[in-house]
Chain A
């Protein structure tokens, strides 16, 4: 009986989805809308001045634009003033060209000048929301301990504690040893910040939906911070291994072969961190969008019926990818953290004979 009801509901949903697609495809004069897949993908993955209101593509939540004009003066206004290509105070969102979808200043001679842009864009707002979420979550654990002392936490706090325990006790402490309390706060912050940004990116509507860790600038900042921590706290022995490693002299003296390799290593480590997180998260988002776009691509190629049928498959595939991305969100946050931990601990080597 239960199975029969489930089957009926499933069939009804499929039929409705197919009909809905057919209706949407023939919305205006029975003509199919042409779909520019690339544009849609990059719009979803990229940044914008304003945040889409859920379920409406045209309305946007205005966000502050902060720019420094060519003459050195700072300008701040809400992004709704630039909506639909409008010009405000000499500024405009460029359509096409070198600065596509960015705020540019229109100079008197008509040319475009890209100002220093510190706008609170969708991604910046997303970062701030993620930071706020991390603050709330972490202080929830802290307040539990403050209030309840040694009692074991329950529900959500317990789940969080498991994650903290997994990252700190099972990962950071075995690698860092007695230096764990010193670097633990940094690594835990990195882990929770990345995890929160990853998961928020998977939520399609506000306050999620910003592709944060799939943005090179965000991962680059995280990688640079790890790079700085690694190299600024490195021990004397770490630098000695770098410039005068214990290898046969022929490998290091006339031609500084080992030194060059080691020096490359310093930079490839954070770059690998940056690219890995970026590529994984962006790839996941892109695949989900592409699966969705398949509906429209197939629809325009083979007609509405095929597009309608494709709906079912696309939704299933997207669902699968989103579930996979949830896992990837956790794994990538963890990988970034554990690699940062290892890089930092590797920079804290001491001579073997000590």
Chain B
């Protein structure tokens, strides 16, 4: 059976051919091919990862924008509330101050009014005295009978005038 007897010549050439083929391919072809394929696979993986990241960024961006908007709204409301509070406080303070001022003014007016009244009283008294004196003179001119009795009478009248006021 010729088929089952390995032929030396054929084995020899097969060995040579295989070694040459292996030498050439292992030196110049396979490492380069393997490296290129792996690099490309890495590149594609990176590309996919990048795209996914970009997509998630995009999705996040909308959510983030919404969040920012909500935050801004909150802040706005806060500011408005603060402003209202401040306004109320200002008004309250102004009102208080105005009341104080008004009270002071009324007090001062009262004081001056009292003074004026006292002044007027005093003046009135001296004027009344003068008037009384004049009356008395007239009385005296008519009747200088009893001087003291007359004077007491005048005083009495004056006191009566005073209490009437």
Which A residues are within 8 Å of any B CB, using their own CB? 42, 45-47, 100-101, 116-121, 123-124, 127-128, 131, 134-135, 138-139, 141-142, 145-146, 149-150, 152, 161, 164-165, 168-169, 181, 184-186, 188-189, 193, 215-218, 220-222, 225, 282
Per-residue A-contact encoding for B16-37, CB less than 8 Å = 1, 0 else:
0110111011101111111011
A186 B26 Cβ-Cβ under 8 A: yes
B2 A121 Cβ-Cβ under 8 A: no
Is residue B14 contacting chain A, with contact meaning CB distance below 8 A? Answer: yes
B10 A164 Cβ-Cβ under 8 A: no
Q: For B32, what are the chain A residues with a Cβ–Cβ distance below 8 Å?
A: 142, 145-146
B29 A193 Cβ-Cβ under 8 A: no
Tell me which of B11, B24, B41 contacts A221 (CB under 8 A).
Answer: B11
B7 A117 Cβ-Cβ under 8 A: yes
A164 B25 Cβ-Cβ under 8 A: no
B3 A217 Cβ-Cβ under 8 A: no
B3 A215 Cβ-Cβ under 8 A: yes
Complex: chain A residue closest to B21, CB-CB: A131
Q: For A123, what are the chain B residues with a Cβ–Cβ distance below 8 Å?
A: 10
Q: For A186, what are the chain B residues with a Cβ–Cβ distance below 8 Å?
A: 22, 26
A117 B9 Cβ-Cβ under 8 A: yes
Return B138 CB to nearest CB of chain A, in Å: 139
B21 A135 Cβ-Cβ under 8 A: yes
Q: For B3, what are the chain A residues with a Cβ–Cβ distance below 8 Å?
A: 42, 45-46, 215-216, 282
B18 A217 Cβ-Cβ under 8 A: no
A188 B30 Cβ-Cβ under 8 A: yes
Q: How far is the CA of A145 from the CA of B10 in the complex (A)?
A: 35
B2 A216 Cβ-Cβ under 8 A: no
Q: How far is the CA of A119 from the CA of B41 in the complex (A)?
A: 46
A100 B28 Cβ-Cβ under 8 A: no
Q: How far is the CA of A165 from the CA of B8 in the complex (A)?
A: 35
B10 A217 Cβ-Cβ under 8 A: yes
Is residue B43 contacting chain A, with contact meaning CB distance below 8 A? Answer: yes
Q: How far is the CA of A243 from the CA of B2 in the complex (A)?
A: 38
A124 B37 Cβ-Cβ under 8 A: no
Query: Can you offer 10 A-B residue contacts whose CB atoms are under 8 A?
Result: A121-B9, A138-B30, A142-B28, A188-B25, A189-B21, A189-B30, A215-B6, A220-B11, A221-B18, A225-B15
B37 A161 Cβ-Cβ under 8 A: yes
Q: For B22, what are the chain A residues with a Cβ–Cβ distance below 8 Å?
A: 185-186, 189
Q: How far is the CA of A240 from the CA of B33 in the complex (A)?
A: 37
Return A41 CB to nearest CB of chain B, in Å: 9
Q: For B31, what are the chain A residues with a Cβ–Cβ distance below 8 Å?
A: 181, 185
A215 B10 Cβ-Cβ under 8 A: yes
B18 A225 Cβ-Cβ under 8 A: yes
Complex: chain B residue closest to A212, CB-CB: B14
Q: Which of B8, B17, B32, B39 has the most C-beta atoms of chain A within 10 angstroms of its own C-beta?
A: B17
Is residue B40 contacting chain A, with contact meaning CB distance below 8 A? Answer: yes
Q: How far is the CA of A185 from the CA of B109 in the complex (A)?
A: 116
Q: For B2, what are the chain A residues with a Cβ–Cβ distance below 8 Å?
A: 42, 46, 100-101
Interface residues of B in 32-55 (CB under 8 A from A): 32-34, 36-37, 39-41, 43
B9 A185 Cβ-Cβ under 8 A: no
Q: How far is the CA of A134 from the CA of B21 in the complex (A)?
A: 8
A138 B25 Cβ-Cβ under 8 A: yes
| CB-CB under 8 A for A47 and B10, given A100-B2, A185-B22 | yes
Return B125 CB to nearest CB of chain A, in Å: 122
Return B23 CB to nearest CB of chain A, in Å: 9
Q: For B43, what are the chain A residues with a Cβ–Cβ distance below 8 Å?
A: 150
Q: How far is the CA of A141 from the CA of B24 in the complex (A)?
A: 14
Q: For A138, what are the chain B residues with a Cβ–Cβ distance below 8 Å?
A: 25, 29-30, 33
Return B47 CB to nearest CB of chain A, in Å: 10
A124 B10 Cβ-Cβ under 8 A: yes
A124 B13 Cβ-Cβ under 8 A: yes
The 5 closest A-B pairs by CB, nearest first: A217-B6, A185-B30, A185-B26, A145-B36, A217-B10
Q: For A128, what are the chain B residues with a Cβ–Cβ distance below 8 Å?
A: 13, 17
Q: For B6, what are the chain A residues with a Cβ–Cβ distance below 8 Å?
A: 215-217, 220
| CB-CB under 8 A for A189 and B17, given A168-B34, A181-B34, A215-B10 | no
